[in-house]
Structure 1
Amino acid sequence: MNVKVIVNMAPIKKKIDRQEQVKQNMRKMRAKIKSDPEKYEEYKRKERERYKKRKAEGKIQKISDLPERQQRAKRKIWRASAKKYRDSRRRIQDFLVADSPPPSPSSIEPDNLNLTPNRQLLQGQKRSRNHRRKLNKTIKSLQERNKLLEKKVKKYKSKVSRLKKKAIDPNSPGKKVDLLLKDQLNNSHEIKRRILWSEVLTKQVKENLVHEKSMEGKRRVLQAISGKVVKSTSFIMRLHGSKKHFSKKKNDNRELKQIIIKFFERDDCSRLMPGKKDTITKAKRKIQKRVLCDSLINIHKKFIAAFPKYIKLSYSEFCKNRPFWVLIPNARDRETCACKQCENITLITRKLRTLDIIQVTFPDQLCKELCYDDVLGEDCLSRKCKHCKDKQVLFNISQPEERIRYNLWQSDSEVLIHMDFSENYNCKYGREIQSAHFGASKPQISLHTVVVYVSTSINGDPPRNINFCTISENLRHDPSAICGHLTPILREIKSQIPQIKTAYFQSDGPTTQYKNKKMFYLIASYIADILDVDQIQWHYSESGHGKGAPD
């Protein structure tokens, strides 16, 4: 027995936002309170008591009690709220004026028209403008006066510092010596006695320093005669030598720093960063960055070898004088355009050094072992120099039959195909009749030019570029026509260079020709099958910037 059950469910009520419902209930409650005068007075009394309680607890503060920063933020909020209120009032007024019908002409009496603004309002605005003008003038005058006072304070500070430096104690040793020298005839005996005492004291201190072998004993001798008076007269400096000795050493350090800077800027020590933004600024000096080509330890060894007179220069002092624009390279600054031949020689040399077959790590060090007096001349490197043509590298080979494995940079066979459509050309006859010359429409042909760059040799010849031009009576420039022009060229490239692994295409970017979804499909399904490569990259030049070799 089949029973059909029908269940009638109550309609689902639309869910009202809880927050909006609470707002509506609060509005109704406030409206109900305001309608009853007694309840409204009681409500205002409770609000006043609540405000006083919160103020006593410190939850409400006057704006004068806030910090200056919070005062500015609070006033900014007030200004924004006042502006918002004025804008809303203005919008309401404009709406009422625009929406209200114009009054009937009969109801307007000429005597009741108020065409002039309120006199009190105009006077108030005038007073406000005058007051604001006076305040601005006062502020400007006070700012100028403040600047003058700041200049005076700075001037008097400098004057006080100069006077402090020039202030001489009348009882200082230097002042007493000047007074004695003014009357040398009458004070000759006193001058002689004091000079003798000075020489005796100086000699005794020097002898004590010589006899003391430990640094602690020398420090005690110097500490016995140290103080403000001795420091002001540079007595300790005179014990070690004259001031000229120290200035000469300072000049020597400055000269050494310049030599180190020039050495760091050499191309074999650092390379210049090519980017426009690859600059560094320090002390208002903006200089292009350079990154080190080798470690600081190896560069320090190279510096000592290039300048033997600075053999005592420590590694820490050398690193301290490194210029700020010569940086230690990170992953972003690594060189990505290195020469394949140079890098392969470096890899071989490092592998031989790892196995202790040779004693050098870099190719330039290996070349110096073969050249006379470390001078890498052209004759020396070509083994034509009479002094070093017989020099050989010493190899430490313990097992001659052992095979050595090392890494080399190798690039797959690559090809770059640069193409573009040329303008359509009109065809002309060698001999023609007058009607054909003036009246007949000439047939046109389409030219598609291609330049192919290869990275491998072709039939034993060195790598070179190959030029192609295909001619067609079909004037279409769409993807199908492009593939028709490229088909014989791609087959010719594949026949001459069968080992191609990567193909690069370069063209301009019109959407009706090379840059559209149909062309992308043909690249993946048609061109890739003809070339039989592992990877195809198609590069588009920007509109109006695609002029190149095919043109």
Structure 2
Amino acid sequence: MAKSKSQRMKEYRERKKASLGEKWLIQESNRTREYYKPTSQLNSKEKKARRERIRDNVSAYRKRQITLLNKTNNIALLNEADLDEPNPVVLIADENGVSSTSTNQPLIVKMQLISAKIKGGKKRASHALKRATNEIRNLKTHNKNLKKSQNTLRKRLEREKKRNSEKKNTPRSKTDALIQRAGLTPGTRNTENIRKKLLYAECVSKEIRETSEENPTKRKLVGIVVSGKFMKKYKMLTELKKSTNITWRTQAQRSKKLNHERQPRNMFLRQKIASDVEQFLCRDDNSRCMPGKADAVKYGKVKKQKRILNDYLHNILIKFCTEHTYRISLATLARYRPKYVCLVNYASRNTCLCQKHQDFAKKLRCMKQMGVTTCTSPDQYVTMHRDNGIQEDLEKITLEKVNYKQWKKVKIIDGKERMKIVDIELGKDDFKVEMVKQFECFTCHVDRVKAQYTAVRDMKKQLPNNHALVQMDFAENYSCQTLEEIQSAYWNASMVTLHPTITYIRSTNGSIVHFSTVYVSSILQHNASMVYAIIYQSPEGRKP
């Protein structure tokens, strides 16, 4: 019969022990130590298995030690007996003639070693855990049976409700049920009279119930009609509640008057405010009339020419409150504003943008159309690809020709140059080179912008006393026109340039305060001389 793997390994270990001895044991110890994992690195399941295995090994080791100790004691006793001198054996006969041997040498009896556990008394087993387990099992079974009974009763109740709901609950069926419970004989003259009166009462109750459930107004009218002294006198309020769902509290709050028209509060004051608001907004200093024939709005039954406010509504409100003795809110002014008076709508386009930002944004829009990236914000795109670069995105381009838009100076008819958006077409490789080059330049540009903002912020925080920080820039040139001008003066508009400034200074209490100034000039050149003249005119830049 072939040997098992464990038998072959056991024989292999015995051969190794015999041939190498302690050297082989050291090698095996080092080999197993390499695969040993500390208990802190094991999970709970592996920890439990290792501890059980260690307990079993320790128990087996102790049993082997006890067995070895018993064998050693027995051998020692036998050796002592053999070393003693033998005593002569004497035959002794008793009265009955039975002979026996007698010797002076002590007899040696082999006895098993009795442990302290065996010497002790009988262990008393506690059945508390068993009783608790049985009790839990019985309670679970009882709980399961109760749930089963509950489900049975619930389903029975649902079937009963469904059976009752399927029955026709009409006034006639209710009347027949009342006659049957009263024990009256159907078909007789007296029974038919009673049946008609009961049927009439059921019909009226059903009509009142359905009418009161339609809307609150009808419920109010029904409550007014049925509430009265006769219902209280004959104690029919409870029956009224059962049949119509109208409680006595609802009846007590009703009045016998049917005309409950709510009078508007402060009607004359509201009419006065509406009239004042309309007159105020239609003044020429607050709004201007549109000249077009199509700029007419139907206001009620009359067509009104559309008017546009000269300022925002919250500024109009401040002016209104200063001219009148009473005050109104912004919501009231907006509510009473006539339909033909429109709000002011200034241009919402973005101007004075950075050319580098716009050119890079247009390239990002082109890359988004090709499915290369989803980000169209230049600053955010630089933040995302600052460390890894944009080569990964550029490799996704599959088109051979790339079309995008860019701001460039273009010569016009008179030889002057103007900034316009032009269409540019490049090959795939040329576009990649251009994009990498512009990305590096734009990254440096973004860093400079952030550094400048940080420097200005730090200067504001650390601004010393008797010093001022002035920020200024040219605004757009504006065309000036007369508010009430004649037709031939349309082409005589004059141009002015605006130069806004904001000044930061430190106040006496140590906080930073600012104030703004706008300089208006008919000189349209935006050069250093103009800036110096404005600085010289400002109180902060004027020399002593």
TM-score (norm 1): 0.24
Give the structure, 1 or 2, with the largest relative contact order (CA under 8 Å, sep 6 or more).
Answer: 1
TM-score of the pair, normalised by structure 2: 0.24
Q: Which has the larger radius of gyration?
A: 2
